[in-house]
Amino acid sequence: MVSMQSSLQRDENGMTAVIEFLAAFTLFLMILTAFLSLAQLEMGSNDTSVDRLDRAAAQGLDRMTSDGGWFVPVFDDGSLDYENSTSHWHLQPIDDLNQGIVLAGLMGSNTLDFDKVDALSNLTEDNLARGLGLSDDFSIHLEIKITESNIPSRDELVLFSGGTERGTAQASSSSYKELQVGQEKFLIILEVHNGGRKANNLHITEISPRSVSGAPEWIELYNPNNFAIDLNGWSFSHTSPNHDTNLLLREGVISGNSLSLFTGDPNAQQIGDAAHVIDLGSEGFLGVGQIDLLNDGGGVIVLSYTQLSEFQPFEVMRVTWGGDTGFFLTPSQSLQYVTDNFPPEQQDWQISNDPSPGIIE
């Protein structure tokens, strides 16, 4: 009997020791996990950078599809003008949007607002990402398309697709939401990238260095991106046997999939369907009438872009006339970019006897 009591007592003591050990170990793990979480350290297979991307993609898409969004303009001193903020961000001028803060909500009356989808082309990629509260280190790609429709021709129709491509980034995360509007289903996909090469191309599509007497010189540009392009950091340079000129642009925005005309005189310029007309005569880069700033006999126009954190401009596109190019222009002729090759070579240009400023042929 004494032996049995002694054995039971040893078993109880052992069980108590095990329970105390497990409780202490569990408390240790809880403290360790809390410390690692606060210190942003990794334990096991968890990757905090991927978690940040996942969270950014999910939260960004939720903000775009929760309501109609809003716009806060800015004063001249850079402070925010909250009193004149509005939920009708899609009705604001493109320059105001680029300077202010925009949360691009896409909803209206509890459904997808197509006017706001169309207005996305007035936002730059950076402006949209900033309004969604994303880190400056992140880039984005947004796509909105129809996945099912009662109209066969609208099946798989893409309403918007623009931003940084996933393959240029170190890591990416995506979030998507499907919405029903009438008899159609729409899919919205937001990709958030860690870094990446942002889509930032502009194309020179036509140039008129030898206009008729009294008419201005002009350069036609096309923005092939769905997102708008901020002109800050873009530049033109003109090289000819007579003189060289350079111009760094510091302001202005070009909407997505639109034509722009840079001209020596906006008042005398034929604009066609151009969405933007920008005066470079006052900048001394393009002439008008007898003021010949682009050499008639031959020259080179180079379009370049300089990242805000860099000093060396990157050449995006160039056009050459005269010399050994074979392109000798007479008054009322222009030089047109006629292929889809990019960047173009000499054979991708041709002389036009019927200049068409503001019109893509």
Counting Cβ atoms within 10 Å, is residue 5 exposed (0-12), middle (13-18) or buried (19+)?
Answer: exposed
172 and 218: one domain? no
* Per-residue pLDDT at 290 exceeds 60: yes
Residues in the chain: 361
55 and 183: one domain? yes
97 and 208: one domain? no
| 11-66: pLDDT as tens digits | 666 667 667 777 777 888 778 777 656 655 544 445 566 788 999 999 999 999 99
210 and 334: one domain? yes
What is the distance between the alpha carbons of residues 66 and 276, in angstroms, rounded to a whole number? 32
Counting Cβ atoms within 10 Å, is residue 38 exposed (0-12), middle (13-18) or buried (19+)?
Answer: exposed
Phi, psi at 311, each rounded to 5°: -110, -25
pLDDT at 18: 66
27 and 55: one domain? no
pLDDT at 15: 67
The pLDDT confidence band at residue 6, using thresholds 50, 70 and 90, is low
Question: Mean of the pLDDT values across residues 229-255?
Answer: 93
25 and 85: one domain? no
Question: Mean of the pLDDT values across residues 150-162?
Answer: 95
In this structure, are strands 258-263 and 276-279 parallel, antiparallel, or unpaired? parallel
**Per-residue tokens: 4:** 């049995």
Q: With b meaning 16 or more CB within 10 Å and e meaning fewer, what string describes 343-352?
A: ebeeeebeeb
77 and 189: one domain? yes
E strand residue ranges, 57-114: 70-72, 101-103, 107-108, 111-112
What domain range is 174 assigned to? 48-194
| 249-280: pLDDT as tens digits | 999 999 999 999 999 999 999 999 999 999 99
* Per-residue pLDDT at 285 exceeds 50: yes
E strand residue ranges, 200-251: 203-208, 218-223, 229-230, 234-239, 244-248
* Per-residue pLDDT at 306 exceeds 90: no
E strand residue ranges, the chain: 70-72, 101-103, 107-108, 111-112, 138-148, 158-163, 171-181, 184-194, 203-208, 218-223, 229-230, 234-239, 244-248, 253-254, 258-263, 276-279, 299-305, 314-321, 334-337, 349-352
Question: Mean of the pLDDT values across residues 342-349?
Answer: 91
60 and 148: one domain? yes
Tally of structural domains, the chain: 3
Question: Of 165, 194, 223, which residue is a domain's last?
Answer: 194
Indicate the average pLDDT of the chain: 89
- Domain assignment present for 136: yes
